[in-house]
Amino acid sequence: MSERIGFIGLGHMGGPMARRLHGAGHPLAVCDVNAAALAPFADRAEVTVCGTPRAVAEAADVIFASLPEPAVLEAVATGEDGIIAAAGFRGCLIDLSTTGVTVSRRVAAALTARGIGFLDAPVSGGIRGAEEGTLAVMCAGEAALYEAHRDLLGIIGKNVFYLGAEPGMGQAMKLVNNILSSMALAATSEALAVAAKAGIDPALAVDVLNAGSGSNSATLGQIPRQVLTGRFQGGFLTKHMLKDVKLFEELAESLGVPTIVCEANVNAWRHAVAEGYGDDDFTSIAKMVEARGGVRLREESRAT
């Protein structure tokens, strides 16, 4: 019999991952505070819509969570109506969110004390990766738990990496990934603003960069798909990127590692939120650069 999967958090990333698990033949118990996120699951066979994380735990063998903030993970895992309140649940919570090292370890300790397993398994690869099952999964936790759930992780991720036995190691790797990804987007936006001010078409500049040593994740992905087209629909909010880069900054400080360049990048995202882009797509940091530089990187004729 297929394992009964619980899935909490059905947003831009969680929704597609939950659908992949259901499509692989696993009955689902789902929960989200947003009714619109639950709607696509309401009429599916072998899907139970639950009102609380506790109800999910009472209907599942293993639970995945894809959540926006560290505090939300703690509430879902250890709150009054959280997973820990389901007396009969002795399965495993797999946290796919970016919640930081400290909270990940705190949640792991609380769940382990109640006989519940925990895997720290943040993902990278965006909405397309979530839809196609090609995400990178950065997993940490007891080796036996990882081995027991590796096949499930393989449904959502093409590349599943085991970072080590200590919860939080997956989070650390994800923060390293996101500081570099965010820096590529912020720095490329500024560089293209200079190119545009010098009279070079931004789209042509991206082609040149991708043929040379300036190529990076932003020039290959978010800039041509979201910025030059004027779409700005990367599926991740600017305020959430700020959360991630601040978590990296806190981790680096706790480890005693100076981060001169990364600190400048964190400040760029602070400015983006302070200047009103917090609830906009994270690719909107390019709009801040446009406004500050008096240039335009996008053309309305490219927008679809």
What is the per-residue pLDDT across 220-245, written as a single tens digit (0 to 9) for each?
999 999 999 999 999 999 999 999 99
Average pLDDT along the chain: 95
Same domain, 274 and 201: yes
Same domain, 130 and 214: no
pTM for the whole thing? Answer: 0.93
- pLDDT tens for 74-122 read 999 999 999 999 988 999 999 999 999 999 999 999 999 999 999 999 9
- The answer to whether 81 and 54 have CB atoms below 8 angstroms apart is yes
The CATH number given to whatever domain includes residue 205 is: 1.10.1040.10
pLDDT, mean of residues 271-290: 98
β-partners of residue 136 are 124, 159
**Active-site residue list:** 174
Whether the pLDDT of residue 124 is over 70: the answer is yes
Same domain, 156 and 203: no
Same domain, 120 and 218: no
Name the domain boundary from 166, 191, 214.
Answer: 166
Give the pLDDT band of residue 40 (cuts 50, 70, 90).
Answer: very high
Same domain, 142 and 194: no
Same domain, 111 and 243: no
The CATH number given to whatever domain includes residue 43 is: 3.40.50.720
pLDDT at site 300: 57
Name the domain boundary from 166, 184, 214.
Answer: 166
Rg (Cα) of the chain, in Å, rounded? Answer: 20
Q: What is the domain extent for residue 185?
A: 172-302
28-31 and 135-140 beta bridge pairing: unpaired
Same domain, 162 and 27: yes
β-partners of residue 120 are 95, 140
Number of domains the chain is built from: 2
CB count in 10 Å sphere of residue 221:
17
Same domain, 61 and 156: yes
- The answer to whether 209 and 215 have CB atoms below 8 angstroms apart is yes
pLDDT, mean of residues 150-163: 97
pLDDT at site 43: 87
The token pair at 265 is 């990048």
Give the pLDDT band of residue 159 (cuts 50, 70, 90).
Answer: very high
Give the pLDDT band of residue 195 (cuts 50, 70, 90).
Answer: very high
Share of the chain above pLDDT 70, in %: 98
- The answer to whether 95 and 119 have CB atoms below 8 angstroms apart is yes
Same domain, 212 and 158: no
CB count in 10 Å sphere of residue 150:
15
Whether the pLDDT of residue 1 is over 60: the answer is no
The token pair at 31 is 């929960």
Same domain, 18 and 162: yes
Same domain, 223 and 151: no
Same domain, 178 and 277: yes
Name the domain boundary from 142, 166, 190.
Answer: 166
Whether the pLDDT of residue 275 is over 90: the answer is yes
